[in-house]
Structure 1
Amino acid sequence: MSGTKSPSRKVPATEGKWPVWKLAILLYPATALTVAINLFLAGLVANGMGLGVIEPVSAILWSIPLGLPASWLAGRWLRGLMDEADD
């Protein structure tokens, strides 16, 4: 069967672009956990300077709302990388 054409055409993998909001939803768990870790470590640094400690549970609770803008920014960054890869 050499010389025959395949009936299917090749389509680029990123033909349908992912919107930033979908990327942000997918990245939210990772970014919220990253924010929680950073808040907890900032509390440890603050403790070294004589301020109060941020408890792990408090860091997790604060990371729930603070993870939203972080995931939006991560989604925009990833969308930019995907657009750059397409060009």
Structure 2
Amino acid sequence: MKPSWTLLLGLYPFAAGAMGVNLFFASLIGSWLGWPVLTPWHSALGGLVIGLPATYSFACHITRLMEQADKS
């Protein structure tokens, strides 16, 4: 079953923020290999993009858990 739009819209700000922070810290770790460090603005923009599939996958997981709880 597909997740509802309200669940997706409720989770998206948290997923986008988490992905932005993870992207920034990943770029800091990548700096040990000589890669450039992303600015916080670039990390936030990347988090907005990467947050979409993260939101959808987590919402699907939450929907499956709700269906299991309904069966019990």
Q: Distance in 2 between matches of 1:21 and 1:32?
A: 18
Letter aligned with residue 68 of structure 1: L
Unaligned runs of 5+ in 1: 1-18
- Give the AA of the match of 2:39: E
CA distances 1:9-57 after superposition (whole Å, capped 9, x unpaired): xxxxxxxxxx514211110000000100110010011011211111111
Whole-Å separation in 1 of the counterparts to 2:4 and 2:20: 21
Give the 4+ runs in structure 1 shifted more than 4 A. Answer: none
The answer to whether 1:63 aligns with 2:47 is yes
Corresponding residue of 2:3: 20
Please state if 1:38 is matched with 2:54.
no
Aligned length: 69
Larger helix percent = 2
Q: Is the CA contact 1:21–1:72 (under 8 Å) kept in the aligned structure 2?
A: no
How does the TM-score come out when normalised to structure 2?
Answer: 0.87
The alignment-based identity, stated in percent, is 32
Larger radius of gyration between Structure 1 and Structure 2: 1
Counterpart amino acid of residue 26 in structure 2: A
Q: TM-score if structure 1 supplies the norm length? A: 0.73
Structure 2 residue runs without a partner (length 5+) = none
Distance 2:63 2:27 in 1: 32
